[in-house]
Homo-oligomer: A and B are copies of this chain.
């Protein structure tokens, strides 16, 4: 039986605090010892990836205390509780089953009288069948022509993850004869978002996916109306151009407004829904169900690795624990995610939601206030772009920001050019290697303006190429990292009560039921 305790109630908490800022990173990474660390501080992930943490401020002593923490906090036991169907989302009294969309790690999970693994695979099979019929032209527009574009209408988890995954695989799919349909995304309630996407597509050849678990998300329903108007204005029957991804109990589930409906349920949180029907419909339509299945396989293999109780063999657990050490012992308040891959350009925005919405909380899973820092700010842009932007602060600013690099040996398009004796891909990789060392070791200089203190920790995930399997592994890695950190901090990482108050007040503004400053702001904005 697992025991849910606050982080600062654990015996290991004070032991960890006593470690303090123990490792002089610049020294540790200098000379042959540095090379040894790069070789040793490296864990295999699935999809041919490795997680290398040589440039983190850890040594064997720190790692041994982190292992004690993992053991005392029963982190892998809690993961097992989760995938075996315990009610981990205490606030909303729900199971947490996103891993079950891609594999089964433990017992059969039966909820609401249904085997949940069977339910998720059934939805995937239905989506696969539907996508095949769209691709073959069996499901076509009124003129009998094939659909060429798929447009996802959703916000938050129904947008950021699927969009980031689509961008991540678009060029790979084009190179590998797996590109079936272009995908676009409408998310914002700003009417210019829908208007500009609609202006960029041919609605007569477009299939729209309405994604809302509850079927009541205001932004999404508003944008649905926008789209329906556009279809109507083009003389088209909207119900022949739209499908829904929703829960079985939602008003959308059985509506004749849609060609088809595919289901998720309350046990899949929005930010964890990329491997459910939420990501499955758009990615299967864009790239084909086989590619989506490969993406799931990469995630499932990573989920399995992350069950290992040995932190040196469990990349997500180790990454989580190092992050806790950085946040609570070293006091760092933000983390930058820096993929050296243009394909991952929106991956930081997805991680920003995943991490900040899961662990940006001040109460524990029993709704009691905690007295330690929880989730950090997450931000990032692809390298090398970031090097020419905010890296100045990362190198020489007054705060230390831990860095998460991602890099691949080969590019997706397999197009490249040799300039000054090296390919662009080599330049890209050379830059990330150089940055890691610049951050870790710095550089002495008698001119303080050119002095780099170093001691700025980073880790890197390295793969051969960003394939569907590799992407699935990276996604699952971060989902599981966030989950483990939530366990350490004793949070419920699966609700989001912090988004409710704004919704309530916005309704009041629209109903003109305001006074005081809220009325004054409404007037300022001419509502």
The 6 closest A-B pairs by CB, nearest first: A360-B393, A156-B388, A34-B517, A434-B505, A38-B520, A379-B379
| 0 or 1 for each of A169-182: is its CB under 8 Å from B? (1 = yes) | 01100100000000
Report 20 cross-chain contacts, Cβ distance below 8 Å, ordered by A residue.
A32-B516, A34-B520, A50-B524, A155-B388, A189-B428, A191-B423, A192-B415, A219-B384, A334-B334, A353-B389, A357-B391, A360-B393, A362-B396, A377-B377, A392-B498, A395-B502, A422-B510, A430-B509, A432-B525, A434-B502
Complex contact A192–B342 (CB within 8 A): yes
Q: Return chain B residues, CB-CB under 8 Å to A420.
A: 218, 510
| 0 or 1 for each of A476-507: is its CB under 8 Å from B? (1 = yes) | 00000000000000001001111111111111
Number of interface residues of A (CB under 8 A): 160
CA distance A396 to B375 in the complex (A): 11
Additional pairs, 13, CB under 8 Å, beyond known A35-B515, A391-B498, A434-B503: A190-B384, A191-B417, A192-B343, A196-B413, A199-B413, A333-B334, A333-B399, A363-B448, A369-B448, A375-B397, A429-B527, A434-B508, A437-B505
Complex contact B392–A377 (CB within 8 A): no
Q: Return chain B residues, CB-CB under 8 Å to A395.
A: 498-499, 501-502
Q: Tell me whether A35 and B509 are in contact in the complex, defined as CB-CB below 8 angstroms, given that A91-B449, A377-B399, A499-B392 are known contacts.
A: no
Q: Tell me whether A520 and B39 are in contact in the complex, defined as CB-CB below 8 angstroms, given that A505-B438, A527-B426 are known contacts.
A: yes
B-facing residues in A321-349 (Cβ within 8 Å): 333-334, 340-343, 349
A373 at the interface (CB under 8 A from B): yes
Q: Return chain B residues, CB-CB under 8 Å to A2.
A: none
Write the chain B residue with the least CB distance to A368: B448
Q: Return chain B residues, CB-CB under 8 Å to A46.
A: none
A412 at the interface (CB under 8 A from B): yes
Complex contact B356–A429 (CB within 8 A): no
| 0 or 1 for each of A456-472: is its CB under 8 Å from B? (1 = yes) | 00001010000000000
A298 at the interface (CB under 8 A from B): no
A296 at the interface (CB under 8 A from B): no
A381 at the interface (CB under 8 A from B): yes
CA distance A506 to B407 in the complex (A): 15
